Amino acid sequence: MSVSNTGIPFLDLITPHVELEQELTKVFQQALRTAGFIGGPMVENFEKAFATFCDAKHSVAVNSGTDALRFALMAAGVKNGDVAVTVPHTFIATTEAISQAGALPEFVDVDERTYNMDPEKLREYLEQKCTKDASGRLISRRSGRPVTAIVPVHLYGQMVDMDAILALAERFNLIVIEDACQAHGAQYFSRKHNRWMTAGSMGKAAAFSFYPGKNLGACGEAGAVTTNDEAIAAQIRMIRDHGQAKKYYHNIEGYNGRLDAIQAGLLHVKLQHLAKWNEQRRERAMEYQRLFESSGNPVNAPYEPSWSRAVFHLYVVRTNDREGMMDFLKNEGIATGIHYPIPLHMQKAYDNLSYAPGDFPVSERVAAEIVSLPMFPQLTADQQAKVAKEVKRFVQSRSSKPVAGEAKDLAVAERMA
């Protein structure tokens, strides 16, 4: 009903909502009949369920992923004038939240295969680009400001190598706030703890977005923080509600950052299906992998390390003629996207940070070559076969050479097979 017979959409947001229409409509009815619009049991019940899903002790629902990240940074103790280290290969909300918390974003490059924060680059940054002041604080040489936090981003639904990041954070006494806005339910095998752990349960706190297109999406704007730290959860509950400890007793100036009860109710209904949808995304990813392998690996398919169970918010491949491939696929009725075309250090909005092209070569190379293919739980095998066929046809028509990293990719293909 939502997907035309010929075209293959990038994402299908209609089918899951039509399938759940009766249950979702009941949420509206309940809210209308109780006038429970802000706070109350619908929000609290969703928070409990989402914390359980993430294997975290607490979850605090807020009005967006951006605010979730900002509030998490503030509540965890990031202060005005601090530096928070993140990657340039992410959505701008990551750095907006850092700036809005009063901190300065500084970058380290990503890993060429996972597209996520490279722990080696982070180590280099902390050891070589920072210094200790008289009082023992870690100071960034480039800005002269104290470095207090790391914000790893589990981009595309794949985990950052958290053991390595957390070990560095411990060594340098830094706060880790996960940007898990694309990674609801992603799993990481911690060698340190010798078990699988869930995105959002590993840092001091984590931010999730429920923007409609995310793996768990509201019917509007929504987000949440997860944390195992009761004090941080309490602080965020206060920050999201005008700094109130109780009604009209304001301990601090806060924000209007609450989540509507209706959105919480809708999210709670959809949460019941999230594990299944994530599993379907993983199956679709493996199907793409099989199709590309059997047609001679025309593009660099995603790499999934043995310690990551990704939830494929996006399915991103690489090619050296990205614009050509997108046009070709568009002509065949296949929608694609770019996540993201310009690394943050090269965005106009960050001219003031005084980075230059060449500062983060991996992010720059990746940004020029990535294409996101259709990926959603309801994607059919026929649609995938068509996408893979057209990708191959395009690559053959250009006889374009595979981009750097192809040799490594073969090893990955073997591992995923």
Q: Tell me whether residue 96 or residue 332 sits nearer to ligand PLP (CB atom).
A: 96
Q: Tell me whether residue 64 or residue 201 sits nearer to ligand PLP (CB atom).
A: 64
Q: Which residues contact 101 (CB under 8 A, 6 or more apart)?
A: 70, 73, 74, 78, 84
Other beta carbons within 10 Å of 13: 13
Q: Which stretch binds ligand PLP (CB under 6 A): 5-13, 175-183, 192-200, 233-241?
A: 175-183
Q: Which of 209, 263, 372, 384 binds ligand PLP (CB under 6 A)?
A: 209
Asked whether 276 and 259 are in contact (CB, 8 A), the reply is no
Q: Tell me whether residue 93 or residue 126 sits nearer to ligand PLP (CB atom).
A: 93
- 374 exposure class (CB count in 10 Å sphere: 0-12, 13-18, 19+): buried
Q: Applying CB under 6 A, does 201 fall inside the site for ligand PLP?
A: no
Q: Which of 94, 227, 363, 383 binds ligand PLP (CB under 6 A)?
A: 94
Q: Which stretch binds ligand PLP (CB under 6 A): 24-32, 88-96, 284-292, 378-386?
A: 88-96
Q: Which stretch binds ligand PLP (CB under 6 A): 90-98, 326-334, 353-361, 379-387?
A: 90-98
Number of H helices, E strands in the chain: 14, 16
Asked whether 326 and 362 are in contact (CB, 8 A), the reply is no
Q: Applying CB under 6 A, does 116 fall inside the site for ligand PLP?
A: no
- Enter the DSSP assignment of 22: H
Q: Applying CB under 6 A, does 200 fall inside the site for ligand PLP?
A: no
CA angle 253, 47, 178 (to 5 degrees): 70
Q: Applying CB under 6 A, does 350 fall inside the site for ligand PLP?
A: no
SS3 call for 224 = strand
Q: Which stretch binds ligand PLP (CB under 6 A): 28-36, 87-95, 367-375, 394-402?
A: 87-95
Q: How far apart are CA 128 and CA 20, in angstroms?
A: 53
The distance of closest approach from Cβ of residue 99 to ligand PLP in the complex, given in angstroms and rounded to an integer, is 13
Q: Applying CB under 6 A, does 90 fall inside the site for ligand PLP?
A: yes
Q: Applying CB under 6 A, does 289 fall inside the site for ligand PLP?
A: no
The encoded tokens of residue 99 equal 């700036």
Q: Applying CB under 6 A, does 153 fall inside the site for ligand PLP?
A: yes
Q: Applying CB under 6 A, does 109 fall inside the site for ligand PLP?
A: no
The distance of closest approach from Cβ of residue 211 to ligand PLP in the complex, given in angstroms and rounded to an integer, is 4
**# residues contacting ligand PLP (CB under 6 A):** 14
- Bridge partners, 408 (sequence order): none
Q: Applying CB under 6 A, does 181 fall inside the site for ligand PLP?
A: yes
Q: Applying CB under 6 A, does 182 fall inside the site for ligand PLP?
A: yes
Rg (CA), the chain: 22
Q: Please identify the residue of the shown chain whose CB is closest to the bound ligand PLP.
A: 65
Q: Per-residue string for binding with ligand PLP, 64-83, x by CB under 6 A?
A: xxx-----------------
Q: How far is CA 204 from CA 25, 78, 371, 416, in A?
A: 36, 12, 33, 32
- Tokens 């990955």 belong to residue: 412
Q: Which of 31, 72, 93, 206 binds ligand PLP (CB under 6 A)?
A: 93
Other beta carbons within 10 Å of 340: 19
Q: Angle at which helices 21-34 and 41-54 pack, to 10 degrees?
A: 140
Q: How far apart are CA 177 and CA 179, in angstroms?
A: 7
Asked whether 78 and 101 are in contact (CB, 8 A), the reply is yes
Q: Applying CB under 6 A, does 223 fall inside the site for ligand PLP?
A: yes
Q: Applying CB under 6 A, does 225 fall inside the site for ligand PLP?
A: no
Residues of the shown chain interacting with ligand PLP in the complex, contacts defined by CB under 6 A = 64-66, 90-91, 93-94, 153, 179, 181-182, 209, 211, 223
